[in-house]
Amino acid sequence: MQVDSPDQIRNITLAGHADTGKTTVASALLYAGGAVNRMQRVEDGNTTTDFDEQEIERGNSISLGPCFAPWRKHKVNIVDAPGSGMFEVESRISVRATDATVIVVNAVSGVEVATERMWKFAESIDQPVAFHINKMDRDNADVDRVFEALNKFFGAAVVPLHFPLGKEHDFEGVVDLVDGKAYRYETDGDGKAEPSDPPGDLTDAIEEWRSKLIEGVAETDDDLMERYFEEGSLSPEELKEGLRKALAQRKIFPVTLGSALHGIGSSRLLDTIVDYLPSPTERGTFPATDLGGEPIEIATADGEPISVLCFKTLNDPFSGKISVLRVAAGELSSDTMVWNTRAEENEKVGQLLHMQGKQGTPTSKLVVGDIGGVAKLKHTLSGDTVCAKERPIRLAWVEIRPPAISFAIEPKSKGDEEKISDALHRMMEEDLGLVGGRDPQTHEVLLSGAGQLHVELAVAKLHSRFHVDVILHPPKVPYHETIRRPADGHGRHKKQTGGRGQFADCSIKIEPLKSDEDFEFVDEIFGGAIPQGFRPAVEKGIQEARQKGYLAGYPVADFRVRLVDGRYHDVDSSEMAFKVAGSMAWKDAMAKAAPVLLEPIMAVDIRTSEDFMGDVMGDLSQRRGKPQGMEAQDDRQIIKATVPMSEMLDYARSLRAMTQGRSSFTMEFSHYEMVPKQIQDKLIADSKKADED
């Protein structure tokens, strides 16, 4: 679908917790808009936005999926974001690339962990949010309870836009509270409905809900509030205009209703998107900085220099590499030459595409604000900005959190090392939460991700897509070592051979730093005790030694080294000699500095029911977990705790078994803490035994 103006575009992310039906909502919108000729179902493995082999096999989204639905001469660009906390980076990228977020909520489960997370991220970038309560046809679906939870967590500005017609299996449509019309849908129909009069016996209930909407909109504008006090109500036109304005300013958050599986409410959700959510022009300029990091404004007006964000890379075995783009300024045409500000390379834009999942329909241009794709860019990766060379900028991106867990992998077949390297490179282009590479300390190939399932999915992709089988070893916990008190150290390297000898002598002081300050080297030599040219060699020797560890082979962090004195020889001294002396001085100081092991501690949120609270808390205690608090969410409890990473490696399986698969958790790195002495002694003993072996 070709559009000529950003006013004809709406860019939305479907976000929310897992199992809220986001992919089904996307499929229902595509069907209602005529983008597909039949309703696609996750269980059939034929949805547009879940196209990866693992997504189809597991029935869950693991990466973002772009698509679009034509509706009322508008192009509604939809990005279907995964709901699992393990793939939250994909959801954040989706929100960053679009202009509004529709948070999908399960009518049975209500507000869940990812509901809050996506709300907070949208809030952090000042993005408009609407809610869509899905699965209204399910047993125990309770819209009143869900509304109460939405108001509790996100405030009174969450207001209803729809009133439900029917409940649970009898849910058949909605009443639009703006125009007052009822929209009844045929079960498993095409997602469209004609307006009609609502049932007379629901007049009072509908009016009560409509009053909530009118009061919420009136409170966002002084003129509307005055009109409301004078007239006692607002006209549909005033309500519509006030709602649109307040939503764009994040003063109000409307809620729509539906059952995507049966197409109920799909057309009204599309109407809501077109009528109330902002166009790229209304959203304003896309956040950007110059190459020095200073914020700049880029206009959406005609004639503005081109600037484009690549927010997703797809690697398809058949069609090759496709970059999914958001045009932030200017108009992008095929055969345009652009500049990649990260790679500092020119890129020639080839055939542009309108994206439906991984499939692209050729188009000659993408106007400002549009989302599309382009094949075979040589240098461009996810997160890159390509722009006019005469105005190099960087468009806003998201923070990519470091992986939480690592596994060592080795090929089952000899000679597959190169294939693994190439496959990992292509997978990391697609999935920014995945990190692979050779560990310089152990020389093992490590595969790291947000959790064990994330890594296992990557291994499954290695097999299915790249035909490489690997053996996955237990993860190596990234312990650190550090010191608890200051100490002095002396290193003297002296070696005499038949010819030129080796001589270096240095004295250092080491002292603890605060957590996360890593390492600092301070040159306090005055005069010529050690020539200037040899001093960096002392630091290099210490750097190499600290990476190998002192107690158990783990990197030493959070300490400062002061180089205070030394001696040299005019003939026998060299950089190599001072490098050796530096490592010797550091080891001498470490022996006196009370070295200890540190372990990574994870912040864990566990969502469970009252029935399993005792089991979950008891299990956390056995894992050395420290409770940080609890809060109630509807009929669920959120347990917050900090737990050592080493105790969480098998937690997903354990929690499923313990709670019959009815609980979920998220975790992220929090900080490092000292390892208990008995565990430290075992780790040191294991390290010594490994060295002896």
Mean pLDDT over residues 97-110, rounded?
Answer: 97
Tell me the average pLDDT of the chain: 93
The residue whose two tokens read 């000042």 is 126
DSSP state of 48: S
pLDDT at position 453 is 84
Query: Domain 7-283: which topology?
Result: Rossmann fold (3.40.50)
- Which of 44, 22, 26, 43 has the alpha carbon at shortest distance from 35? 26
DSSP state of 1: -
pLDDT at position 680 is 96
**β-strands 559-567, 519-523 pairing:** parallel
Amino acid at 42: V
Per CATH, the number for 599-679 is 3.30.70.240
| Domain 481-593, CATH among 1.10.10.10, 3.90.1150.10, 3.40.50.300, 3.30.230.10 | 3.30.230.10
Contact by Cβ (8 Å): 66, 355: yes
- Which of 311, 324, 313 has the alpha carbon at shortest distance from 428? 313
Q: Is the pLDDT score of 679 beyond 90? A: yes
pLDDT band at 661 (very low <50, low <70, confident <90, very high): low
pLDDT band at 496 (very low <50, low <70, confident <90, very high): confident
CB atoms within 10 A of CB 677: 10
Which tens digits make up the pLDDT trace of 266-299?
999 999 999 999 999 999 889 999 999 999 988 8
Tell me the CA distances in angstroms from 308 to 96, 305, 330, 444, 522, one per residue in order. Answer: 13, 10, 9, 38, 43
pLDDT band at 623 (very low <50, low <70, confident <90, very high): very high
Contact by Cβ (8 Å): 349, 330: no
**Residue 443: strand, helix, or coil:** coil
Which tens digits make up the pLDDT trace of 404-461?
677 889 999 888 888 899 999 999 999 999 999 887 656 788 898 887 888 999 999 9
Mean pLDDT over residues 663-669, rounded?
Answer: 80
DSSP state of 465: T
CA Rg value for the chain = 30
pLDDT band at 477 (very low <50, low <70, confident <90, very high): confident
Share of the chain above pLDDT 90, in %: 79
How would you write 83-120 as a 3-class SS string? CCHHHHHHHHHHHHHCCEEEEEEECCCECCHHHHHHHH
| Domain 288-395, CATH among 3.40.30.10, 1.10.3860.10, 3.40.50.10300, 2.40.30.10 | 2.40.30.10
Mean pLDDT over residues 369-394, rounded?
Answer: 96
Same fold, 405-476 and 599-679: yes
| String of DSSP letters for 348-372 | E---EEEEETTEEEEESEE-TT-EE
Contact by Cβ (8 Å): 466, 419: yes
Superfamily of domain 405-476, CATH level 4:
Elongation Factor G (Translational Gtpase), domain 3 (3.30.70.870)
pLDDT band at 303 (very low <50, low <70, confident <90, very high): confident
Q: Where are the domains of the chain?
A: 7-283, 288-395, 405-476, 481-593, 599-679
Most confidently modeled range among 384-388, 604-608, 686-690 = 384-388
Share of the chain above pLDDT 70, in %: 99
First to last CA, the chain: 65
Where is pLDDT greater, at 224 or 299? 224
pLDDT at position 440 is 66
Residue 453 CB contacts under 8 Å (≥ 6 apart), including other chains = 86, 652
d(CA 330, CA 6): 11
DSSP state of 610: G
Q: Is the pLDDT score of 498 beyond 70? A: no
Which tens digits make up the pLDDT trace of 165-218?
999 999 999 999 999 999 999 988 889 999 999 999 999 999 999 999 999 999
pLDDT band at 538 (very low <50, low <70, confident <90, very high): very high
